[in-house]
Amino acid sequence: MAFEGLTHKLQETFKKLRGKGKLTEKDVKEAMREVKLALLEADVNYKVVKDFINSVSQRAVGQEVMESLTPGQHVIKIVNEELIMLMGGRESKINISPKPPTVIMLVGLQGAGKTTMAAKLALHLKKSNKSILLVAADVYRPAAIKQLQILGGQIDVPVFTLGDRANPVDIAKAGVENAKKNAKDVVIIDTAGRLHIDQELMEELQNIKSEVEPFETLLVVDAMTGQDAVNVAQSFNEKLDITGVILTKLDGDTRGGAAISVKAVTGKPIKFAGVGEKLSDLEIFYPDRMASRILGMGDILSLIEKAQQTIDEKKALEMQQKLEKHEFTLEDFLDQMSQMKKMGPLKDLIKMIPGLDTSKLDDIDLNENEKEMARIEAIIKSMTKEERKNPSIINSSRKKRIAKGSGTTIQDVNKLLSNFEQARKMMKQFADMQKHMKKGKFKF
């Protein structure tokens, strides 16, 4: 999982700061030294680290922090804000030309994930009702054309090709013409890469670019290559004046260097992140959410978004109203558990929860947790409808029956009932928090 090492180190540093009632300049200096080392170890560009530490230090020894009642929190807040700024401040969307078709040219080295990304982007844009044409202009990598055709077939997007004998500039040009003829909204051109940057590659890409005048020239780089990715980005930007960067393989064992440095070094925003091999494994790059993830504050917004995508909207609304009115029953609890199951493995979800030290996650036996969930499910299913609605009627003879029916013990039933009461209280708080977040009142 990305950023684990960095997150762990930063959390250790912050833990020390948090524990202090008052901060001295020396405390801040020491913390900044640790943050600096953590960033360097995560393969963040040296100059970027230096500037970052300078900005944070300047703000952190300011009066506002020193006089604050929670100076440790204040320093973390500053690191968070500066990290967001470093990664571009706000998300940067794909620009759509007012004069269709919008031509998007994907460039990058071989193996960076360009062909996969072409199809991921097509799927992403298709969701906003854009009609798309994919153009296979990678004539060098064996099977690149076939790969794009297969991916296009999976998402029902046509792929334009002239085979691997044609000149890439001609393919790109003919592809755009074809898109115009068929009134497509967007053309995505998958260009050829090389193993390393070379003159020939750059000239070819420059020729394609001047021929088709793309609205977006997006560089695809492999986040796992750390500083190399940043150097590649710098070279491509100098030669091709790219409009944005897409980081792939952010799901891998990434130290974080590329995500943190690319914008600062090239001045060009990261627009998307590839987070897996499946075509739906694409995320819009939100600097603020990424900063939260790096700092180990979780990614509550992505979590909520994921929940919203999976959970039946109407049901979620009903649930929220029930929570607010304190009408949440064991039946609803059961219902919610089955919705949660649809959201995927518990381990992935837990990582998004803010404030959780994910370095400890491996010590927790998540299988045990899932077994516990199955036990809870069995207990609730052994209750009558009336009991689920109104658990207070569950006396000891009912408990005995429920335990027997679910293959558990009376203690298990007791535990569930008391946990449920606790959960009901917590969920009410969560519902209130969500309400505040919607109104923009929830602050770090």
**Nearer of residues 114 and 268 to ligand GDP, judged by Cβ:** 114
Q: Annotated binding residue at 425?
A: no
Coil/strand/helix, residue 313: helix
Distance CA 219, CA 232 (A): 9
Q: Annotated binding residue at 298?
A: no
Q: Annotated binding residue at 2?
A: no
Tokens describing residue 34: 């640790």
Q: Annotated binding residue at 19?
A: no
**Nearer of residues 7 and 116 to ligand GDP, judged by Cβ:** 116
8 Å CB contact between 107 and 205: yes
**Nearer of residues 222 and 387 to ligand GDP, judged by Cβ:** 222
Work out how close the CB of 136 gets to ligand GDP at its nearest, in angstroms, rounded to a whole number. 10
Q: Please state the φ and ψ torsions of residue 443, each to the nearest 5 degrees.
A: -120, 155
Work out how close the CB of 104 gets to ligand GDP at its nearest, in angstroms, rounded to a whole number. 15
Work out how close the CB of 191 gets to ligand GDP at its nearest, in angstroms, rounded to a whole number. 9
Distance CA 152, CA 121 (A): 11
- As a whole number of Å, the CA-based R_g of the chain is 26
**Nearer of residues 144 and 380 to ligand GDP, judged by Cβ:** 144
The footprint of ligand GDP (CB under 6 A) covers: 108, 110-116, 141, 144, 193, 248-249, 251-252, 274-277, 281
Distance CA 13, CA 32 (A): 9
Work out how close the CB of 192 gets to ligand GDP at its nearest, in angstroms, rounded to a whole number. 9
Q: Annotated binding residue at 15?
A: no
Q: Which residues are bridge partners to 222 per DSSP?
A: 248
Residue 100's Cβ-side half-sphere holds a number of Cα atoms within 13 Å equal to 14
**Nearer of residues 39 and 219 to ligand GDP, judged by Cβ:** 219
Q: Annotated binding residue at 134?
A: no
Distance CA 194, CA 202 (A): 10
Tokens describing residue 283: 């995320």
Work out how close the CB of 210 gets to ligand GDP at its nearest, in angstroms, rounded to a whole number. 22
Work out how close the CB of 282 gets to ligand GDP at its nearest, in angstroms, rounded to a whole number. 8
Coil/strand/helix, residue 382: coil
The residue number with the shortest CB distance to ligand GDP is: 274
Question: Of 94, 124, 95, nearest to 279 (Cα)?
Answer: 124
Q: Annotated binding residue at 31?
A: no
Q: Annotated binding residue at 193?
A: yes
**Nearer of residues 194 and 415 to ligand GDP, judged by Cβ:** 194
Tokens describing residue 92: 């940067």
Residue numbers in the known binding site for GTP are 108-115, 190-194, 248-251
Residue numbers in the known binding site are 108-115, 190-194, 248-251
